[in-house]
Amino acid sequence: MFYQLNLRLLRMLCFLALFVVFLVPGRVSSQNTDQEATWIWYPGDYEIWLSNKMQARRTEREAVLPPLWRYYSPYALVTFQKELELPEPDEVTLYTEGRFMLLIDDVLVHGRPKKFTVPAGKHKIVLRVYNQETLPAIYVDGTYLNSDNTWLTTHEDKQWIDENGIPHQSGTPWIPAGMWNFDAPDNKPSEFRLPTEPMGAKKTEAVGSGHLVDFGKETFGYVKLHGVKGKGKIALYYGESREEALDSLRCETLDHLSFDQAEASDYTVGQSKAFRYVQVQSDASVAYDSISMLYEYLPVEYRGQFRCSDDLLNEIWDVSAYTLHLNTREFFLDGIKRDRWVWSGDAHQSYLMNYYLFFDSPSVRRTLLALRGKDPVTAHINTIMDYSLYWFVGIYDYYLYTGDESFIQDFYPRMKSLMEYCLGRRNEDGFLEPLAGDWVFIDWADGLTKTGEISFEQMLLARSLEAMALSAEIAGDTEGRERYRSLADKTKEKLFDVFWSDTKNVMMHQRLDGKVVDDITRYANMFGIFFDYFDGEQKQSVKQNVLLNDNILKITTPYMRFYELEALCALGEQEFVLDEIRDYWGGMLDLGATSFWEKYDPTEQGKEHLAMYGRPYGKSLCHAWGASPVYLFGKYYLGVKPISPGYGDYIIEPNLGGLKWMEGKVPTPNGEISLRCTEREIHVKSDEGRGKLIIKSRTTPKTNKGTIKKLDVNAYQIDLEAGINYQISYKAVK
């Protein structure tokens, strides 16, 4: 097993550019496989069901705004099957969501038993469950027989009984069951709600005959009115900003409530919302004592940490972490006021940030599954071409950070059908250009052209094809691996043939009607850097002629700032990037931000900062893509990143970027890597994996453990083993 994997991975090396894979720690399960029972379902279906529900909760001034893309549905009829050998009879208790049929060894059990006994020996247990209202799920609780992801599921049972009562079955597409953390019988998947905690208001002031309640910072949850009494109406106007909450005619979200109660009682609104401020206006005939809220959140641990000698950066990290947490819910959201939808491009950044903060893999898997839906594929994810492609890149990253092969094995068919959809939309030159129904997003930027062949889209396609080749390998699809590898190579070659300008030494933006347009943008140029598609010379040219060139169309969203700053960090410009972060994210803090925004343009004034989409408060002031410092600090300052799946191997290249000191933690699948770094000392410890600490030092470093290897002038390496506290003295290169 080990040998085989190793060989396979060596073959991968031939065609994977960036993430050089040396070793893989065996199959890492995406899910718990112990003997405890948990609710199980058809894999991916719960994610589809829950995301459908969640995304339809978006409202705009009480109008419901479900997504513009298609919803898939869970299968209403699912068969669950488990074969096992029992050393003794097993008393089993059965819970289902849905009406069920139970077969033991192909024999129908009459009635609808809540308990049943399976005799000792080898047996096959089958449950066929119908549930059209929510989704079929089972919880089977015995000593030996327990529902978990070792059960197989299918939506096409195909077991038929002939004229003589003999069962036949063939061609049934079995797939391991899906699960999350519903580990008790009464913890039903269909009744899932995020937990809440009561939070009080920070300040309340009179506004007309009502009040403006300030919760002190951006938050999310359910407003609660205490001691409501009387008959009449109460209106709640929500605001991420004070201005929005006070503008009852134009604020984005509101609630109109009606009461008729002689006795005072508390009332919690039915739908959660994003806000910092709430303006409350009530009829004179109805009174209330006070306003509080129930803060609703996904319980995740802040496993990643970062502190440094610059308090502004510490505050930026804190607000970034909070911004990401607010947007990490049932799924990774784009923003909590709106859209409250799951967008693949936005989520892709959340995945990356998550690896440096929560390392919550179930959230990544849930989001990837919700985005993908099922077959047939009839449109790009979110209808956006780039967003289909980010989905593949997201799986690539997920595998690298977590080492979870089973996720790819289970869902490879869905990867394949989405990729075939993408490939089917290429033009004669093998390039993607928008067809009817395709939205090319790239970024919000004035004057950005998005028609014809865009180099950025082709670069994402090439990367996606690489992800497919890797996944095909993991899923055992040898033919697919060869095909995708070859397509990746061809796409990349063609990309450079057409878009790389030998005169300007940069990647051009667009080709229209067969002619490359004289237009350079940052997008493909910055992705080419951290995709490692450029050679050293190309990188330097891109850096000078694009990234550091103010004449190139500027980026005004934290969304693309993420990648721009990542590219600069990958080029070693940590100090420059810190200044950018201080300016850009610090700029938002200066304006009173308690979470980071969808878009920030330093040249705007006052209420301009709140407007977007032609609406005065259209802008989201808590957008996941605003949280990127969490990622940058972990990956490019603490400098920790995996180089083989699941941190089997990793690298640490600390870079102070001009700071006096920094310290922090980066989570790994089963532990963490902790680091403290000054200009003279580095302390590092990891719980798992084989690390390489790369240090730039003006002198030869000294270490309490391990060996110092010289790599280059002022560059040294120390190989790290798990569980050891390394203390290294050195002199940082400034």
Nearest-approach distance from CB 104 to a copy of itself, in angstroms: 12
**Total residues in contact with a copy of itself, by rule CB under 8 A:** 68
Q: Smaller CB distance to a copy of itself: residue 230 or 616?
A: 616
Q: How far is the CB of 699 from a copy of itself (least distance, A)?
A: 52
What is the sign, positive or negative, of the torsion defined by CA atoms of 613, 53, 385, 535?
Answer: positive
Decide whether 165 or 514 has the Cβ nearer to a copy of itself: 165
The residue (of 158 and 607) whose beta carbon lies closer to a copy of itself is 158
CB 541 within 8 A of CB 506: yes
Strand, coil or helix: what is 142?
A: coil
If binding is defined by CB under 8 A, does position 199 make contact with a copy of itself? no
State in angstroms the smallest separation of the CB of 471 from a copy of itself: 21
Return the residue of 26, 121, 173, 658 that touches a copy of itself, per CB under 8 A: 173
Looking at beta carbons only, is 443 or 477 nearer to a copy of itself? 443
Q: Which residues pair with 507 in a beta bridge?
A: 500
b (16+ CB within 10 A) / e for 496-528: bebbbeeeeebbbbbbeeeebeeebbbbbbbbb
Q: Does 65 bind a copy of itself (CB under 8 A)?
A: yes
Q: What is the CA radius of gyration of the chain?
A: 27
The number of angstroms, rounded, from the C-alpha of 409 to the middle of its chain's C-alpha atoms is 19
Shortest distance, position 187 Cβ to a copy of itself, whole Å: 21
Q: Is 104 in the site for a copy of itself (CB under 8 A)?
A: no
Bond from prior residue into 195 cis (ω within 30 degrees of 0): no
68 near a copy of itself, judged by CB under 8 A = yes
447 binds a copy of itself (CB under 8 A): no
Whether the link from the prior residue into 339 is cis, omega within 30° of 0, is yes
Nearer Cβ to a copy of itself (297/439): 439
| Contacts to a copy of itself from residues 604-663, by CB under 8 A | 612-615, 618
Among 164, 603, 605, 707, binds a copy of itself (CB under 8 A): 164
Own/partner pairs, 174-177, CB within 8 angstroms, 24+ separation: 174/81, 175/42, 175/43, 175/410, 176/43, 176/149, 176/150, 176/151, 176/152, 176/406, 176/410, 177/40, 177/41, 177/42, 177/43, 177/80, 177/147, 177/148, 177/149, 177/150, 177/151, 177/152, 177/153
Select the residue interacting with a copy of itself from 1, 14, 284, 436 (CB under 8 A): 436
> Quick one: which of 510, 386, 371, 508 has its CA closest to 444?
386
Q: Which is nearer to a copy of itself, 171 or 299 (CB)?
A: 171
At its nearest, how many Å lie between a copy of itself and the CB of residue 693?
44
- Which member of 29, 52, 268, 670 binds a copy of itself (CB under 8 A)? 52
3-class secondary-structure state, position 652: strand
Please state, in angstroms and rounded to a whole number, the distance separating the CA atoms of residues 179 and 147.
Answer: 9
The distance of Cα 711 from the centroid of its chain, to the nearest Å, equals: 36
**Is 74 one of the binding residues for a copy of itself (CB under 8 A)?**
yes
For position 26 contacting a copy of itself by CB under 8 A, the verdict is no
Give the nearer residue to a copy of itself in terms of CB position, either 21 or 422: 422
Question: Rounded to the nearest 5°, which phi and psi values hold at 557?
Answer: -110, 145
Contacting a copy of itself (CB under 8 A), which of 18, 108, 264, 724?
Answer: 108
159 binds a copy of itself (CB under 8 A): yes
117-156 residues near a copy of itself, rule: CB under 8 A = 128, 130, 132-134, 155-156
Q: Minimum distance between the CB of residue 69 and a copy of itself, rounded to whole angstroms?
A: 7
Instruction: Say if strands 649-652 and 690-696 run parallel, antiparallel, or are unpaired.
Output: parallel
The answer to whether the beta carbons of residues 393 and 467 sit under 8 Å apart is yes
Is residue 383 involved in binding a copy of itself (CB under 8 A)? yes
Q: Does 562 bind a copy of itself (CB under 8 A)?
A: no
Given candidates 77, 199, 553, 589, which one binds a copy of itself under the rule CB under 8 A?
77
Beta strands in 269-400 (DSSP E): 273-282, 286-287, 290-296, 305-308
- CA–chain centroid gap for 336, Å, is 15
193 contributes a contact to a copy of itself by CB under 8 A: no
| Chain positions contacting a copy of itself, by CB under 8 A | 49, 52-53, 56, 60-71, 73-77, 99-102, 108-112, 128, 130, 132-134, 155-166, 168, 170-173, 375-376, 378-379, 383, 435-439, 444, 612-615, 618
